[in-house]
Amino acid sequence: MRATPPRCVLTIAGSDSGGGAGVQADARTIHALGGFAGMAITAITAQNTRGVTAWRPVAPALIAQQIEAVMSDLPVAAIKTGLLPGAAAVRTIARTLARFPRLPLVVDPVMGATRGTRFLDTRGVQALARGLLPRATLVTPNWPEAEALADRRLRSLAEAEAAAVGLMEKFGCAVLLKGGHAPRENVVRDCLVTTDGRVRWLTSRRIVTRNTHGTGCVLSAAIATRLAHGDEMESAVETARAFLQSSLRENRRTPWGGAGPAFSGW
């Protein structure tokens, strides 16, 4: 029997009918790393590994009610957000989470699906920047998301580092700028900037798989879970990256299931 209960992590994100991303991937990740997942679903998507065919947002009031239901009962130790469907939803979530200022918050600023579906428009990005990112402990943009938040093009690693430092200074939270969308090479370089101004580049071998659907969800959920366990930021990021790498290696021959730990031996 488990000696101590798992740490509870609340994921506020969309539902993926294919199970490879969204709250489904988050929950598998949280559980694999010794946590218990509470969920507030922000949108319902019809999607699989090939893309999103339809989606509908959940009403902001219902998103808030889900968050309040979880927070009023479970001993939540960290929170992460993923797909947020519009400015009204972002503002509502920010107001609701303002009641829990001491909990670590990892924001994965999902703006669209890899294959083109747009979830968060310009007003939504502005609401994210004004209302939620100043509350965040860590934000985890990929290159296109960092370009939108920093309002600048990224063409090199030096420009990516400058953008990450700028985002940290602007929002007062740590930034993990993910390198999966960077100019392609055989390694992935992520730039971590902590709130003390320290810049650290984290490098790992690029794992070629049939399907990398859900990598951002898995990484942010893993970081949130490690923060819930009390890890320092750099340690949480290192463990989460290792977990994602392990999951990708385990799943690289599987054409479905996403990047999450469906088959991971972690």
Catalytic (active-site) positions: 178, 212, 214-217
Distance CA 30, CA 112 (A): 23
Do residues 262 and 251 make contact, with C-beta atoms less than 8 angstroms apart?
yes
Q: Distance between alpha carbon 62 and the CA centroid of its chain, in Å? A: 21
Do residues 216 and 20 make contact, with C-beta atoms less than 8 angstroms apart?
no
Enumerate helices (H) and strands (E) in the chain, giving the number of each. 8, 9
- Mention every residue, 6+ apart, whose C-beta is less than 8 A from residue 196: none
Radius of gyration from C-alpha coordinates of the chain: 17
H or E element at residue 248? helix 233-251
The residue assigned the tokens 């290792």 is 242
Q: What residue type is 252 in one-letter code?
A: R
Q: Helix, strand, or coil here: 95?
A: helix
Distance CA 195, CA 164 (A): 11
User: What are the φ and ψ backbone dihedral angles of 112, each rounded to 5 degrees?
Assistant: -170, 165
The residue assigned the tokens 């004004």 is 130
- The CA-to-CA distance between both ends of the chain, in Å, stands at 20
Distance CA 199, CA 202 (A): 10
